[in-house]
């Protein structure tokens, strides 16, 4: 095969060869070469131990060196090209990662051959190598053929592979999303039979795979694979629970199918890099995925065959917060996604009866920095097949956004505050700090929301009128 290989890879390979060591480009970079993609993050493996190749990497990495992965046999370095492009390399000693049945962390043992190292990798499409500097293509498990077929298959028996490293099952569904591949039947069956094994993997590692899946070009395909495999029953059980039985008269939508449509629509509504919701946006995509998880718990069959899901937004927000915390997502992600789930029905009343300016201000204030995401989630959630209803909804949302834009020209509704602050309230009323100040502040905030900005004298008069009413 003909390869156009990174000159840095050739140079590093020669540096290893000069010291008597083997070096091979492995994994994703080799796969991407065959897919005609380019990467600036290069993964290598070698028969040299970290203490042996550390001096080589330090000489190679003019602009950076790191050793956070030393206990796993991995060191990294970075250099910057004249055009400013960064090329990052990581070198790992031939190895085997094996989980103790009762441990959440892999034990690392070193191997002694390139083929042995490749046999321990997750899938054949990642078990190809290119030796450097001589550029020999090494493919002992038919990875190039599987790449051509767009199939994910383990290099060794899948039960052994997933037993050695259960996280590979999560990587399988992630690659479905990232690469658009399918999982080979025997490999898929092994995942289904071994889903409980994922429980020994740390929540952080599962979260990282889920995040990569959601930020891919095809998150829906990955989510569906996660559910079909049974892995979601363990790591994200709220999603397969959305597959509610449809009543015999088909009077309500299947919630899982609806959610998948909302995920697709939310992705399509993300903006360019300079827009309010640049793609890919993890918070919006998580909110689209989780927005209806409260429905199974709140489903009620009403008289006449109707089905209701009262308060599924509030229930779903609590469930979302609990699940994302369990998966160790960052606090700000947990809070933002939970808030979006809680708010995702807020706009619907506008369609039936346009809001007052005060209601529009409250909507913007409650959404806060999530305003742009909330509007996109709301639009994505409007999946009705009734063309007339769909057009009415779009028109109402367009109208509301136009009103917000006009209000923003007149006042700073993104950061609404009362016309009098706490110090001014205490000075006007002659009171000391305490609960009454907070009560007055809240009243003045409500007044501001209802009436928009007013002049100082009007605000003072309203404060005194309110204070007088408290004494009655």
* Per-residue tens of pLDDT for the chain, all 472 residues: 556 788 999 999 999 999 999 999 998 899 988 988 877 789 999 999 999 999 999 999 989 999 998 988 999 999 998 888 899 999 999 986 554 555 545 556 787 889 989 998 999 999 999 999 999 999 999 999 999 999 999 999 999 999 989 999 999 999 999 999 999 999 999 999 999 999 999 999 999 999 999 999 999 999 999 999 999 999 999 999 998 755 444 444 589 999 999 999 999 999 988 888 999 999 999 999 999 999 999 888 888 778 878 899 999 999 999 999 999 999 999 999 999 999 999 888 777 777 888 888 888 888 989 999 999 999 999 988 888 888 888 998 998 899 888 887 766 665 667 777 778 878 877 788 888 878 887 777 777 777 777 788 787 787 778 877 886 5
**For position 40, what pLDDT does the model report?**
76
pLDDT of residue 162: 94
For residue 221, tell me if it sits in a domain: no
Q: Are residues 313 and 445 in the same domain?
A: no
My answer on whether 406 and 426 are in the same domain is no
Beta bridge partners of 264: none
Among 415, 430, 453, the domain boundary falls at 415
Predicted local distance difference test score (pLDDT) of residue 304: 76
**Are both 317 and 455 inside the same structural domain?**
no
42 and 64 belong to one structural domain: yes
Q: Could you tell me if 349 and 460 lie in one domain?
A: no
Domain assignment of residue 106, yes or no: yes
* Predicted local confidence at residue 106, as pLDDT: 54
Instruction: Give the domain-ending residue among 148, 182, 203.
Output: 148
- Is residue 11 domain-shared with residue 131, that is, in the same domain? yes
pLDDT computed for residue 259 by the predictor: 95
Same domain, 291 and 358: yes
pTM over 0.85, yes/no: no
Cβ contacts of residue 75 below 8 Å, gap of 6+? Answer: 50, 53, 54, 57, 65, 66, 67, 69, 90, 91
Q: Quick one: CA dihedral 83, 39, 109, 235, positive or negative?
A: positive
Q: What is the domain count for the chain? A: 3
Single residue among 121, 148, 175 that ends a domain in this structure:
148
> Coil, strand or helix: which one is 327?
coil
Q: Is residue 354 part of a domain?
A: yes
Task: Using DSSP bridges, classify how beta strands 307-308 and 300-301 pair: parallel, antiparallel or unpaired.
Answer: antiparallel
Q: What is the dihedral of CA 394, 400, 401, 404, to 10 degrees?
A: 180
pLDDT value of position 405:
86
The whole-angstrom separation of Cα 251 and Cα 309 is 13
Task: Tally Cβ neighbours within 10 Å of residue 262.
Answer: 23
Residue 222 in domain: no
Whole domain around residue 427: which residue ranges? Answer: 422-471
For residue 57, the domain's CATH number is 3.30.460.10
The CA distance from 400 to 275, in Å, is 19
Residue length of the chain: 472
59 and 75 belong to one structural domain: yes
């Amino acid at each position: 095969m003909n390869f156009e290989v990174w000159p840095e890879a050739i140079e590093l390979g020669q540096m290893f060869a000069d010291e008597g060591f083997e070096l091979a480009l492995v994994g994703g970079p080799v796969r991407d070469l065959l897919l005609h993609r380019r990467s600036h993050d290069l993964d290598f493996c070698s028969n040299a131990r970290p203490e042996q190749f550390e001096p080589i990497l330090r000489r190679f990495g003019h602009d950076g060196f790191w050793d956070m992965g030393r206990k796993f046999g991995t060191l990294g370095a970075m250099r910057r090209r004249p055009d400013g492009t960064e090329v990052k390399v990581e070198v790992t000693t031939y190895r085997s990662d094996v989980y103790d049945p009762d441990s959440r962390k892999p034990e690392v043992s070193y191997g002694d051959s390139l083929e042995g190292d490749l046999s321990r990798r997750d899938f054949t499409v990642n078990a190809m190598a290119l030796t450097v500097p001589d550029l020999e293509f090494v493919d002992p498990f038919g990875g190039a053929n599987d790449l051509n077929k767009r199939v994910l298959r383990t290099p060794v028996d899948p039960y052994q592979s997933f037993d050695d490293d259960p996280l590979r099952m999560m990587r399988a569904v992630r690659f479905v999303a990232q690469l658009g591949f399918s999982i080979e039947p025997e490999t898929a069956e092994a995942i289904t039979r071994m889903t409980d094994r994922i429980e020994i993997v740390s929540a952080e590692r599962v979260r990282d795979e889920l995040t990569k899946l959601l930020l891919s070009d095809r998150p829906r395909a990955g989510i569906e694979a996660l559910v079909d495999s049974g892995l979601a029953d363990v790591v994200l059980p709220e999603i397969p629970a959305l597959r509610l039985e449809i009543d015999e008269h088909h009077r309500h939508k299947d919630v899982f199918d609806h959610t998948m449509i909302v995920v697709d629509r939310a992705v399509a509504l993300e903006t360019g890099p300079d827009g309010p919701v640049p793609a890919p946006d993890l918070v919006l995509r998580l909110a689209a995925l989780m927005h209806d998880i409260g429905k199974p718990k709140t489903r009620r069959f009403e008289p006449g065959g109707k089905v209701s899901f009262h308060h599924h937004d509030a229930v779903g927000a609590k469930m979302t917060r609990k699940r994302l915390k369990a998966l160790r997502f960052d606090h700000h992600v947990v809070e933002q996604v939970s808030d979006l789930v809680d708010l995702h029905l807020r706009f619907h009343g506008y369609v039936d009866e346009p809001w007052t300016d005060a209601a529009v201000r409250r909507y913007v204030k409650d959404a806060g920095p999530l305003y742009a995401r909330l509007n996109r989630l709301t639009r994505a959630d409007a999946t009705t097949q009734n063309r007339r209803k769909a057009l009415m909804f779009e028109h109402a949302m367009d109208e509301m956004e136009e009103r917000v834009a006009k209000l923003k020209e007149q006042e700073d509704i993104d950061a609404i505050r009362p016309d009098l602050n706490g110090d001014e309230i205490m000075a006007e009323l002659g009171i000391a700090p305490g609960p009454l100040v907070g009560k007055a502040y809240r009243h003045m905030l409500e007044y501001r929301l209802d009436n928009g900005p007013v002049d100082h004298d009007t605000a003072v008069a309203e404060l005194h009128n309110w204070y007088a009413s408290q004494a009655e």
